[in-house]
Structure 1
């Protein structure tokens, strides 16, 4: 245990001795990773917004002209009992005429002798929302029912929104991976500089019988400290960005970005992992 704490303290002292390069590395990692944090937070909030939008997806079912309101109610109850359907709202012919007058300012009975508007119902899907590909089978099952004339839902608009969302996820993922790889290289180079600056001490330690593990661990500890410190700095910058963005959004919309601690914890853990990889790469290359 004493040896373990000694190795930890050696890693910390080494960083303190090279304060300028350590500060430079942590700052560079922190600022760079803050873009990953921004992207991760934006993606998290976009996913929340997409799920909320999916829960608002509706289908409008139009019944044949000869369908009575009571028959339509019965069919709607059958639809509500289907999987993935949450609730339904019946719109009678009379209610459809009232909606027409409200929307267009004209009484349909003044324009025509009879009301040609069909009885319909608005179907709300389950609260967790459905993907466009999941909506199509539901629509087809409803269309196959007796006395159903047509099922309408904005398939193209929904698909377009989903494609944009998936495209943004892919872009954020690629940029994040590139930045994390850059973090690995930066940590690796920082450790290399430290090793070169202490090569005489390393040679002496090996001459007196120090094991490779005893020599390598302090440098790996340095890499982890640099990486995690950069991750913490990135978290702080991300938090400040979220607060600033929310202050700006308040002027235009009630929508606010949500600070998700799980994303930040995951970011710091991933950075720690990449820091270990970067420091091990440098140590194994220069001390073997």
Structure 2
């Protein structure tokens, strides 16, 4: 009978520990993802800014030497990330692939122009700067037109700061929620041992002596939960880096180290604080109040 009761108690204890670890791991995983998103907001914004293409359409009378010199000058410019020449034939092939049919057969000629596709560095992507660059390039006599997706650029410029602020507020709110959820899980775990706490206190054990094993146990659970969260974050980063290598998520090792260290320390500190206050609450309760 006693052995079966011991097994039941052991299973109950393991179940309690598992629920605490799982709660900590899930909350810290989401907290870590938000932290990475917050730190990489500028990088993500820069990536989208550099996807804006400035198309420089050239006149049919433009000479190869003029085109080559313009491309070289654009490549060497401080504001340029890349400048790629696209012939009218290449443009026709791409357009045919996009619409799913050969429009040249229908028209009988190629109406497209030779062009140079320019991608700007993120620091130079704003409505005023892009307009200024476009006007300067359009001043060349053999350039017919310079165009870019102005509505998208306006929308991107307007929303970058707003998105960063939203992510910052969301991170702060989720940090508070994370603390409350982990605190709730640990308090429920300690609640089941409230009679043991009070019994130890009644036989003369000091508060610090009673708190110590609970704090150490939950710190270990917090560390295990943090490690599981970090494994999940690492897996997510590897997946994103494999599918979106252009974001360079694994390049900044210092930033990643800070996030990983922050998640691990958060698991320890939240567990420590939650356990301390939870045990303190039951230590200060009267014996009659333990039943409610």
Residue segments in structure 2 that go unaligned for 5+ positions in a row: 1-8, 97-101, 285-292
- Per the TM alignment, residue 121 of structure 1 is displaced from its structure 2 partner at its CA by 0.9
Residue segments in structure 1 that go unaligned for 5+ positions in a row: 1-17
Q: Which residue of 1 aligns with 2:226?
A: 231
Q: Which residue of 2 aligns with 1:10?
A: none
Q: Alignment partner for residue 59 of structure 1, among 53, 62, 72?
A: 53
- Per the TM alignment, residue 272 of structure 1 is displaced from its structure 2 partner at its CA by 1.6
- Per the TM alignment, residue 177 of structure 1 is displaced from its structure 2 partner at its CA by 5.1
Q: Which residue of 1 aligns with 2:23?
A: 32
Distance 1:266 1:184, change over 3 A: same
Q: Which residue of 2 aligns with 1:178?
A: 177
User: What TM-score do the two structures reach when normalised by structure 2?
Assistant: 0.59
Tell me the distance in 2 between the aligned counterparts of 1:203 and 1:102: 83
Please give the residue correspondences for 1:149-188 in structure 2 after superposition, counting only pairs within 5 Å: 149-153=145-149, 156=152, 159=156, 173=171, 178-188=177-187
Tell me the distance in 2 between the aligned counterparts of 1:198 and 1:43: 37
Q: Which residue of 2 aligns with 1:96?
A: 88
- Per the TM alignment, residue 185 of structure 1 is displaced from its structure 2 partner at its CA by 1.6
Tell me the distance in 2 between the aligned counterparts of 1:265 and 1:26: 23
Q: Which residue of 2 aligns with 1:68?
A: 62
Paired positions, count:
247
Q: Alignment partner for residue 217 of structure 1, among 197, 212, 222?
A: 212
Q: Does the 8 A contact of 1:188 with 1:223 survive in 2?
A: no
Please give the residue correspondences for 1:204-283 in structure 2 after superposition, counting only pairs within 5 Å: 204-205=203-204, 210=206, 212-233=207-228, 238=232, 255=243, 266-283=262-279
Deviations 1:175-211 (A, max 9, x none): 67534421112113323443431312223335xxx5x
Tell me the distance in 2 between the aligned counterparts of 1:52 and 1:144: 23
Tell me the distance in 2 between the aligned counterparts of 1:278 and 1:118: 67
Q: Which residue of 1 aligns with 2:281?
A: 285
Deviations 1:84-127 (A, max 9, x none): 42221133xxx21453266443179944xxx764442112345x
Distance 1:102 1:283, change over 3 A: closer
- Per the TM alignment, residue 227 of structure 1 is displaced from its structure 2 partner at its CA by 2.4
Counterpart secondary structure, 1:144 = helix
Q: Which residue of 2 aligns with 1:124?
A: 119
- Per the TM alignment, residue 52 of structure 1 is displaced from its structure 2 partner at its CA by 10
> Is 1:85 matched up with 2:80?
yes
